[in-house]
Chains A and B, each alone.
Chain A
Amino acid sequence: MRPPSMARPGWAGKVKLPEKYGPWAVIAGASQGLGEAWAREAARRGFHVVLVARRGPLLRKLAAEIASTYGVATKVVVQDLEKPGADERILSAALGLDVGLVVYNAAKSLIGPFLDQPLASHRGELAVNCAAPLGLVWHFGRLMKKKGRGGIILMSSLSCGQGSPLVAHYAATKAWNLILAEGLWHEWRPHGVDVLACVAGTVDTPAYRQSRPAADMKPMEPRRVAREGMASLGKRPSVIAGFGNKLSGFAMRRLLPRRLAIGIIGGALKKMYADGPRGKRGASCCG
């Protein structure tokens, strides 16, 4: 990652995001992969960052690295986003900080037939992927609306364009995030608060690699996803990161009959996880 002084001139001359939204960014699910890329991207843009995830040592290491590379302030909040009340604890940890940006990247993705996983795991998936962002969006959104400025980014996935076997529940939670963000985009725009759903395809993250995909899905580099997402905030309600993903999103959503699209993604996922998939908790990892 380049230091800010060497960054592309494209964005440097424009309005600085921390000035537009507020100086602090909260990154939920920041320990590695896409979350790490979001944290670096926010710092590169000049935000001080609050890093939230379960694993303290990873977060502290990343925080130190970000502080020295980008010269921004950092704060580490060790919090399991599956736990009820996680949103309120993050809110109180960020008390007193002028939070201008919230990126919700944490996700749990169980891979495999729906009924192969116990209900408790699915409830955990719902807690991480929907209940926690619901609370954070509600709490921080309220503060931002009051201040008349702010930005919120929710991660979604291409798999939610239609039903996706083997990640049936995961895809559903990502559809929830997409539709919630788009609706809020419209409601909060007049109040100076920008909301964005960042729709990713497969991303080359540790979680993705640990899910042991068999087929080569040409995963995207995390930092490219974060850059495109950040650049889209305030410009549109949702963005599909990556040109290839935009194309396949267009084909799946707009051209193909829905049933055929479901069959195609089902076939792709089956090939991808042919020899025993694994449920993973980490950044979104499913196309």
Chain B
Amino acid sequence: MGTGLSWKDRYGPWALVAGASAGIGEAWAREAARRGLNVVLLARRAAPLRRLSGELAERYGVKTIVLPLDLSRADSVEVLARRVRGLEIGLVICNAAAIPVDPFLERGMEEHLAAMNVNVRAPLALAHRLGAPMLARGRGGMVFMASLSASMGTARVVHYAATKAWNRVFAEGLWVEWRKHGVDALACVAGTVDTPGMRASNARSMLGAQSAEAVVRASVAALGKRPSVIPGWGNRISGFFMERLMPRKLMIQLLGGVMERMYPRPDVKGPLSGNRRK
């Protein structure tokens, strides 16, 4: 935006973090509060949100709202819009994700549709409902979580990777459209992140996993400066290698082999939702 506004003036007074109960979402909520923003905490489970809410209020003296909401429900964003009516939300973090880790057909259609609702339909509606007032005010920011696994087709997380490709390309398109109105869109293309969700996925290896805080720091630094960011040097190098140097077919096969070793049994089950990301 290039104006002299402080971070708080640019992205405040309220932030909304979807998927705030743990991992990257929780780290975003802390970061926003640390920078003086009031925070709407959204996730399915109320208990961890309440704990976090109390901590943020006490430590940073900001206002918080706990919003337990299941984004896999088709009308969730309408419910959300009613609940936050009147709040000036200047920063939206679309971090909630459903991550079925399994061969594609081992999950039923209902689960795939739920994943599509959480990972795509919800950010689409958030961008529309909360993006419009930001453009009207001429300031704000919206961060969409994407994944390195979305650089190409990825076995074991086939549908998840597709939804993350949606988020990356969507955010990058909005970056151009919204920039001239003073609103910053950003795709955060994360690699493996050390989150409770990632640990619960029973991955055989978490080599090179980053902390959630590091991912948030990189996103804060990139917001308003570029359309997408890959946090971490290692990830940037592997992203460059996978997307630009390797033949696509070979890369899909290699990555597929890695994923099949990482999640060896076809009956590996993970929770439908959480903050796990590859």
Per DSSP, chain A at the interface is helix
Q: Scan B119-135; emit 1 where CB is below 8 A from any A CB, else 0.
A: 01100110111011001
Closest to A238 in B: B248
Min CB gap B156→A, angstroms:
8
Mark out the residues of chain A between 168 and 182 whose CB falls within 8 Å of any chain B CB in the assembled complex: 168-169, 171-182
Q: Does B197 contact A (CB under 8 A)?
A: no
Q: How many residues of A contact B (CB 8 A)?
A: 53
Min CB gap A253→B, angstroms:
7
Alpha-carbon gap, A237 to B254, bound state (A):
13
Mark out the residues of chain B between 225 and 243 whose CB falls within 8 Å of any chain A CB in the assembled complex: 226-228, 243
Closest to B150 in A: A179
Interface centre among B105, B127, B171, B249 (most CB of A within 10 A): B105
- Taking a contact as CB atoms closer than 8 A, the residue among B121, B158, B166 that contacts A184 in the complex is B158
Q: Does A209 contact B (CB under 8 A)?
A: no
Q: Does A64 contact B (CB under 8 A)?
A: no
Alpha-carbon gap, A115 to B125, bound state (A):
11
B124–A259 touching, CB < 8 Å = no
A179–B172 touching, CB < 8 Å = no
Q: Does A135 contact B (CB under 8 A)?
A: yes
- Taking a contact as CB atoms closer than 8 A, the residue among A113, A163, A186, A254 that contacts B172 in the complex is A163
Known A176-B166, A179-B165, A186-B253: A114·B159 in contact at CB below 8 Å = no
User: How many CB-defined contacts (below 8 Å) exist between A and B?
Assistant: 179
B175–A169 touching, CB < 8 Å = no
Q: How many residues of B contact A (CB 8 A)?
A: 55
B112–A172 touching, CB < 8 Å = no
Known A176-B162, A179-B154, A186-B153: A126·B173 in contact at CB below 8 Å = no
- Chain A residues positioned under 8 Å from B252 (CB to CB): 182-183, 185-186, 237
Q: Does A236 contact B (CB under 8 A)?
A: yes
Q: Does A145 contact B (CB under 8 A)?
A: yes
Q: Does B262 contact A (CB under 8 A)?
A: no
Alpha-carbon gap, A254 to B253, bound state (A):
19
Alpha-carbon gap, A120 to B121, bound state (A):
11
Per DSSP, chain B at the interface is helix
Known A126-B121, A179-B154, A182-B152: A172·B159 in contact at CB below 8 Å = no
- Taking a contact as CB atoms closer than 8 A, the residue among A165, A169, A187 that contacts B176 in the complex is A165
A163–B165 touching, CB < 8 Å = no
B153–A182 touching, CB < 8 Å = yes
Q: Does A266 contact B (CB under 8 A)?
A: yes
Min CB gap A228→B, angstroms:
16
- Chain B residues positioned under 8 Å from A142 (CB to CB): 105
Closest to A186 in B: B256
Q: Does A86 contact B (CB under 8 A)?
A: no
Known A175-B168, A177-B162, A184-B104: A114·B173 in contact at CB below 8 Å = yes
Mark out the residues of chain A between 221 and 280 whose CB falls within 8 Å of any chain B CB in the assembled complex: 236-238, 253-255, 258-259, 262-263, 266
A172–B104 touching, CB < 8 Å = no
Q: Does B163 contact A (CB under 8 A)?
A: yes
- Taking a contact as CB atoms closer than 8 A, the residue among B116, B163, B177, B226 that contacts A168 in the complex is B177
A169–B124 touching, CB < 8 Å = yes
Alpha-carbon gap, A185 to B252, bound state (A):
9
B177–A175 touching, CB < 8 Å = no
B228–A258 touching, CB < 8 Å = yes
Q: Does A123 contact B (CB under 8 A)?
A: yes
Min CB gap B122→A, angstroms:
11
- Chain A residues positioned under 8 Å from B84 (CB to CB): none
- Chain A residues positioned under 8 Å from B153 (CB to CB): 178-186, 237-238
Mark out the residues of chain A between 115 and 152 whose CB falls within 8 Å of any chain B CB in the assembled complex: 115, 119, 122-123, 126, 130-131, 134-135, 138-139, 141-142, 145
Alpha-carbon gap, A265 to B83, bound state (A):
38
Q: Does B161 contact A (CB under 8 A)?
A: yes
Alpha-carbon gap, A160 to B125, bound state (A):
20
Alpha-carbon gap, A164 to B159, bound state (A):
22
Interface centre among B113, B164, B173, B245 (most CB of A within 10 A): B173
Known A179-B150, A182-B152, A183-B153: A262·B166 in contact at CB below 8 Å = no
Give me the interface of A with B, judged by CB distance under 8 Å. 113-115, 119, 122-123, 126, 130-131, 134-135, 138-139, 141-142, 145, 160, 162-169, 171-187, 236-238, 253-255, 258-259, 262-263, 266
Chosen A-B contacts, 18 in total, with CB atoms closer than 8 Å, are: A114-B128, A138-B109, A164-B173, A168-B177, A169-B124, A177-B162, A180-B153, A180-B158, A182-B152, A183-B153, A183-B154, A186-B155, A187-B103, A187-B155, A187-B158, A238-B248, A253-B244, A254-B243
Given A119-B125, A172-B167, A266-B176, 12 new contacts (CB under 8 A): A126-B124, A131-B116, A138-B105, A142-B105, A163-B172, A172-B170, A178-B165, A179-B161, A180-B161, A183-B159, A187-B156, A253-B243
